[in-house]
Structure 1
Amino acid sequence: FSRAAFFGALFSLAFCLVLVPWTIRNHRVFHLFQPLAPAHAEMPGEFVPRGYLAWLRTWIDDGRYIGPVLWALDEAPIKVAEIPDSAFDSPEEKQRVAALFDKYNHPPDAAAPNGANAQSQASPAPADNLVEEQEQSNDNANDNSNDNSNEADSGNQNGEDNANSNDEADENDQADENSSGDQAETQAVEMTPEIDAGFAQIAAERKARHPIRYYLFLPFKRGLSLWFDTHSQYYPFEGELLPLRDLDYDIQQQYWLPLFAGLTFLYTLLGVAGGWFLWSSGLFSARRWLLLAALIIFLRVGFFATLENPEPRYVVEVFPFLSALGGIAITRLTSAKLSSQ
């Protein structure tokens, strides 16, 4: 035990020595004792929307929501229609969130491109109608585009054939989509401390109402989402396996995503089997290595399951240890088969 304690203390000292230059630099530049980088990589005094992040942690349980509501923050508008119903405990709470997002999507200092937008900003819609307006905006846009295309078709009855008119309508629709996409990208948005405080209040209320959901169920679901993912990030066929109807057949997702999901399940089964073989051996050295692998895997997954951005890429580092356990399982199974013959 004394030998293990000595090497443990030596390793801890070496770890601290590596951080000394960084700590000295931060103290000289920022006048702060900061041996490690901040959680959000912010500069001293920089605003971090911790209230909004706390609200995200009260409902995000899958990585598919990270892009629209987290990475889009201060970059693009965020719509309540893109948020699942599990993020709201009541219609009144949904209205409060919609009102906060309306302030975020339409900051007061944003320059209006024309008089119509200026008039709409001068008389904003009531909070009770925000959700309905956002949910109906896409339908109204589609109706307007259909009306415009019908008018264009009726005005071109001068001998042109139907193929040309359809091509023109398609080009107009494509132009409308591009222009609307450009407007969404260039729309000014801002998360202010006032809006962030509103989200912090809602987050505190949700945690107080359902502490077990916040501290137990949601981290567990995030952990499952982190682990049992296709892990297809950075591949051309990256995407979500479920729902199956949303698979993109053009990039062969119907083949690659089930294959990658199956590999994840196979690695998991072999890893569990390898861990069982190590434990059942009864050897202290074998159980020690099993404990090391279990601590590395479960501590990392457990930590990232508490964050608001459960991205599967964070658990890629544990798969080498899972592969080692799987290799032990394969070796034991093949050895048992050969010995039986």
Structure 2
Amino acid sequence: MHAALTDIPDKQRHRGLLAAFLLLCGFLLRLYFLQKHAFLAADSVLYQDIALNWLHHHIYGLTEGGQIRATLIRLPGYPAILAALSWLFDGFLHASAGTLRSFLPLLWLQIAADLATCCIVAIMARKIGGTACGLAALALACLCPFTANYAVAPLTETFTLFFLALAFYLLQHWLTDGRARWIIPLAFAISCSVLLRPDQGLLAAAILPVLLASGTHKTLRRRLQPAILCIALTALPFVPWTIRNYRIFHVFQPIAPKQATDPGEPAPLHFERWFRTWGADFTATQDAYWNYPEDAINVADLPARAFDTPLQHEQTEKLLQQAGYEGKLNPQVEAGFEALAQERIAAHPLRYYVLLPIARLVNMLFHPRTEMLPVAERWWQFRQHPAQTIFSLFYAALNLAYFFAAIAGFRGALKRETLLALSMAGYIVLRCLLLLTLDNSEQRYTLEFFPLLIVFAACIWMNPGQPPKGSSADGP
């Protein structure tokens, strides 16, 4: 008996050392990406421009032709982080603005946030299935190259993942004891997530029904209180933002617009509709969607499915040549794309409304997540770059393994914490439905799934005969 009791601290010490080792491995992986594959996107510079104008000129806007104009195309969450770091580091970001060096304080903060996300995911899994589940989740999270890669890109994804995981962690605790003290930080996590990316409103849509369904009070008013409080606190930061947008632009715009254009700015709606008649993969997004209308698009880069007839090929080539020559939106070019889109939709409505949206979603889920790495756009062309093709196939297989492992472990999570598992799965389903409506296929839009996939996958290591560690049965 005494030997068994003294063995418990040794096991805990070994588990602690293993957890520390996994976190160290996670840090080294992110350090490797920082040294070798840090990535500066166009959106990164845009966010920085807004942040610096906000901080130094007190205008939430973009610099154009030496002038600053107000904007609402991005929510203030990420620019606020950049502005705070610029203030803290006394102009370091401003002095080297527009370069990767200027984002180094942000990237280190993102690495810390990503490792914190790993810990949150591990704690959630431990609470569901015990210590083995927690360590498995920590390993899967720390060693996940997909999320680690985005930690060294100045984009919103890393902080979005952190607040997503935090929201479900807080929901898990609220489901355990039902105390109102969890609602305030839960609303804060949801609100921060939406302030970073407006599509994270789906997080609230996945969580609020659980707040209603799990209430133990008999009266409807008492059952509604947690959900109402959460909604009110979540919406609170958007009140000044909405008022600001109405005062400056005279529009009701509580979140960023879908087209990412300011009021009065033209949007390439007709080109995008034509693009939806054939765009299905990330290559199409890179070759056409991102380039129009500022950059030239080579008709030879488009797949055969972009044309139903030789006449359509000829018309498309002329429109693309004219758009590339002018480098800006042209109403006549837009009208031409609209005519092409109508013709193609009428000829193949099933392809437009069903098959292509599904193809785009599948591509976002299972395309090799190499967009931040020096890998060829057409990675599958083995003869041109065999090493990159093999690496991309490995990345695709690893990505697929996370999904299969999550499916295998979902049943265990559902048995242990039904409402939490349903809420997490509901978020994934809701996001997939939203992605079916998008024009452009980008695998980063499914990166938000990984904290949840990892929790589900870790439940493979759950002992069905034992209560989870940290549950009420085991004590703290």
Is the structural similarity TM-score above 0.5? yes
Q: Deviations over 1:226-276 (max 9, x none)?
A: 011221232344755424334363xxx245323221211111111101123
Q: Distance in 1 between matches of 2:360 and 2:465?
A: 35
Q: 1:241 to 1:105 in 2, by over 3 A?
A: closer
Residue 222 of structure 1 contacts residue 305 of structure 1 at CA under 8 Å; is this kept in 2? yes
Letter in 2 for 1:29: I
2:411 to 276, 286, 310: 276
Q: Distance in 2 between matches of 1:224 and 1:55?
A: 20
Of 191-200 and 325-334, deviating more is 325-334
| Aligned twin of 1:229 | 367
Q: Distance in 2 between matches of 1:232 and 1:193?
A: 36
The alpha carbon displacement at 1:5 in A equals 2.9
* Larger radius of gyration between Structure 1 and Structure 2: 1
Q: Distance in 2 between matches of 1:77 and 1:333?
A: 58
Structure showing greater relative contact order (alpha-carbon pairs closer than 8 Å, 6 or more residues apart): 1
1:82 corresponds to 2:301: yes
Q: 1:263 to 1:288 in 2, by over 3 A?
A: same
1:195 corresponds to 2:333: yes
Letter in 2 for 1:200: E
| Aligned twin of 2:398 | 263
Give the gaps of 5 or more residues in structure 2.
1-214, 467-476
Q: Distance in 1 between matches of 2:390 and 2:355?
A: 32
1:319 to 450, 455, 462: 450
Residue 240 of structure 1 contacts residue 257 of structure 1 at CA under 8 Å; is this kept in 2? no
The alpha carbon displacement at 1:29 in A equals 0.7
Equivalence map 1:1-341=2 (5 Å): 1=215, 2=220, 3-107=222-326, 189-237=327-375, 239=377, 241-247=379-385, 249=387, 253-279=388-414, 281=415, 286-332=417-463
SS of alignment partner, residue 383 of structure 2: helix
TM-score (norm 2): 0.48
Q: Deviations over 1:41-95 (max 9, x none)?
A: 2122111110001111111010011122122123322121111111122222222
Q: Distance in 2 between matches of 1:83 and 1:332?
A: 51
Q: Deviations over 1:183-235 (max 9, x none)?
A: xxxxxx33301111211222123223322222211111111100112212323
Letter in 2 for 1:314: Y
Residue 409 of structure 2 contacts residue 460 of structure 2 at CA under 8 Å; is this kept in 1? yes
Letter in 1 for 2:296: P
Letter in 2 for 1:51: H
Q: 1:103 to 1:241 in 2, by over 3 A?
A: closer
Q: Distance in 2 between matches of 1:238 and 1:295?
A: 35
Give the gaps of 5 or more residues in structure 1.
108-188, 336-341
State the aligned residue count. 247
